[in-house]
Amino acid sequence: MAIASLQGADYPEIREEIAKLCQAFPDPYWRALDREMGYPAEFVSALGSAGYLAALIPEEYGGSGLPLSAAAAILEEVQRAGCNGSACHAQMYIMGALLRHGSEEQKRQYLPRIASGDLRLQAFGVTEPTSGTDTGALKTVAVRQGDKYIVNGQKIWTSRAEYSDLMLLLARTTPREETARGIDGLSIFILDMNAARAAGGLTIRPIRTMMNHSTTEVFFDNVEIPAENLIGEEGKGFRYILSGMNAERILIAAECIGDAKWFIERSRAYASERQLFGRPIGQNQGVQFPIAKAYAQMRAAELMVHEAARLFEEGEQCGEQANIAKMLAADASWAAAEAAVQTHGGFGFAEEYDVERKFRETRLYQVAPISTNMILSYISEHVLGLPRSY
Ligand SMILES: Cc1cc2nc3c(=O)[nH]c(=O)nc-3n(C[C@H](O)[C@H](O)[C@H](O)COP(=O)(O)OP(=O)(O)OC[C@H]3O[C@@H](n4cnc5c(N)ncnc54)[C@H](O)[C@@H]3O)c2cc1C
């Protein structure tokens, strides 16, 4: 029995196409990659060549010019099918900084090639080991020397860096002591990672994590970036990054909704099939209720994701809704993951059921790209006007 509300009502054709595409990448494909921490190159290439990773790039730059809600539907369906969009989701939102703040020349240089899949813009270099959430404290510096910048420092958790041609890099261009706030004096650049690697100043080291996420630490040793690769104005980088955060939050929230639907569907099927004491385990309310509760949580979060996307598309302020959507959706996927492990009993821990893999994958969204605490802090201080903690 198919449950209509687990399918998503908007963009039915796109959802159907994604579901079809994902069928070529069934559970064993992801299981094998998970075991060896491999990158799903074939999956990313299939999504890219079908144009889905260019959904948000305007048509004049070779993309499909779709609204954010369509991109959200794409990522939700990817996750609902049991696939893992984290291998390429960043391409959808990172390029927003280039689109909104880049020069016409930069857009013409990069966007069509990103849209066609010739160039991968998958790496986003913000987080550093000593600054973490406190972005204003980051230490990587880009010092202008003539027609180039020289970059020194280190990033951590730079996901997909090994599989990306370009990185959107946030670095300090004005010394901290010369700025009023830490978040001032930061700038963003398009870094050609292939050129930097060839020149020898860029070192990328994979970090083994609890799930397969192709994340790395990146070291910059006198890496040169042509001055023309600065996006927008020097010193305004943090503001540019912030302007893309709402889109990022909404898209990640949509992925969490997809994960929640996957867990709920798997739990529902297993609870209906598994016979113990002469009846399906799903006949016990102790088994039903956590699944039902996760479903209710998912439906509420889904409404907030749609509301945030609607406001975003109408050009309205949506910081509150985007942040709440991300938090509720991450909570819903986590509740659904918990219910799925419990419903599957011992088999919830067995690799071949994929529940434990998705459980590990969805746990990330309580922490990254923004942790639940920071969302609560945003709601407390920016929405409710409570005293600022820092
Ligand atoms: C798998 C993975 C992939 C990632 N990919 C990327 C990427 O591609 N690019 C990138 O730039 N970053 C990436 N990140 C980094 C991610 O955004 C950060 O991990 C996240 O923002 C938290 O920062 P942190 O790990 O430094 O934790 P910290 O900043 O050290 O915080 C630790 C804990 O303390 C809490 N905390 C900190 N300050 C406060 C406060 N004032 N009030 C209440 N609680 C607080 C945090 O919420 C967190 O729970 C990734 C992380 C992971 C794990």
Dist. CA 155 → ligand 1 center (Å): 12
215 ligand 1 Cβ < 6 A: yes
Q: Can you give the pLDDT at residue 8?
A: 87
Atom of ligand 1 nearest to the CA of 372: 47
Q: Is 89 within the bounds of a domain?
A: yes
pLDDT at 390 over 90: no
Contact 168, 190 (CB under 8 A): yes
Q: Which residue of 157, 169, 365 sits with most ligand 1 atoms within 8 Å of its CB, as the best mutation to test the pocket?
A: 157
Dist. CA 61 → ligand 1 center (Å): 33
Mean pLDDT of the chain, nearest integer? 96
CA-based torsion, 10, 16, 22, 26: positive or negative: positive
Are 138 and 171 in the same domain? Answer: yes
What number is the average pLDDT over the span 306-335? 97
d(CA 203, CA 218): 6
Side chain identity at residue 13, one-letter code = E
- Lookup: tokens for 36: 């060896």
Contact 120, 49 (CB under 8 A): no
d(CA 204, CA 17): 35
Are 127 and 158 in the same domain? Answer: yes
d(CA 142, CA 381): 32
Instruction: Among 45, 76, 93, identify where a domain stops.
Output: 93
Q: Is 109 within the bounds of a domain?
A: no
Q: What is the CATH number of the domain that holds 330?
A: 1.20.140.10
If 0-12 CB within 10 Å is exposed, 13-18 middle and 19+ buried, where does residue 126 land?
buried
Dist. CA 217 → ligand 1 center (Å): 14
Contact 207, 217 (CB under 8 A): yes
Residue nearest to atom 12 of ligand 1 (CA): 127
Dist. CA 125 → ligand 1 center (Å): 13
Q: Can you give the pLDDT at residue 300?
A: 98
Write down the pTM of the prediction.
0.97
157 ligand 1 Cβ < 6 A: yes
Q: How far are the Cα atoms of 56, 148, 166, 272 from residue 229, in angstroms, in the given order? A: 22, 9, 11, 56
Are 141 and 190 in the same domain? Answer: yes
Atom of ligand 1 nearest to the CA of 170: 11
Residue-number span of the structural domain to which 11 is assigned:
3-93
Dist. CA 359 → ligand 1 center (Å): 19
Are 288 and 222 in the same domain? Answer: no
What percentage of the chain carries pLDDT values higher than 90? Answer: 95
d(CA 284, CA 298): 22
Are 264 and 325 in the same domain? Answer: yes
Domain total in the chain:
3
pLDDT digits (tens, 9 = 90+) for 26-53: 999 999 999 999 999 999 999 999 999 9
Are 224 and 335 in the same domain? Answer: no
126 ligand 1 Cβ < 6 A: yes
Q: Is 125 within the bounds of a domain?
A: yes
Instruction: Among 234, 268, 293, identify where a domain stops.
Output: 234
Dist. CA 383 → ligand 1 center (Å): 22
Instruction: Among 234, 259, 275, identify where a domain stops.
Output: 234
Is residue 2 very low, low, confident or very high in pLDDT (cuts 50, 70, 90)? confident
Q: What is the CATH number of the domain that holds 59?
A: 1.10.540.10
Are 250 and 365 in the same domain? Answer: yes
102 ligand 1 Cβ < 6 A: no
Q: Is 390 within the bounds of a domain?
A: no
Atom of ligand 1 nearest to the CA of 126: 11
pLDDT digits (tens, 9 = 90+) for 251-299: 999 999 999 999 999 999 999 999 999 999 999 999 999 999 999 999 9
Q: How far are the Cα atoms of 19, 26, 229 from residue 147, in angstroms, in the given order? A: 48, 49, 10
**Phi (first) and psi of residue 305, to 5 degrees:** -65, -45
374 ligand 1 Cβ < 6 A: yes
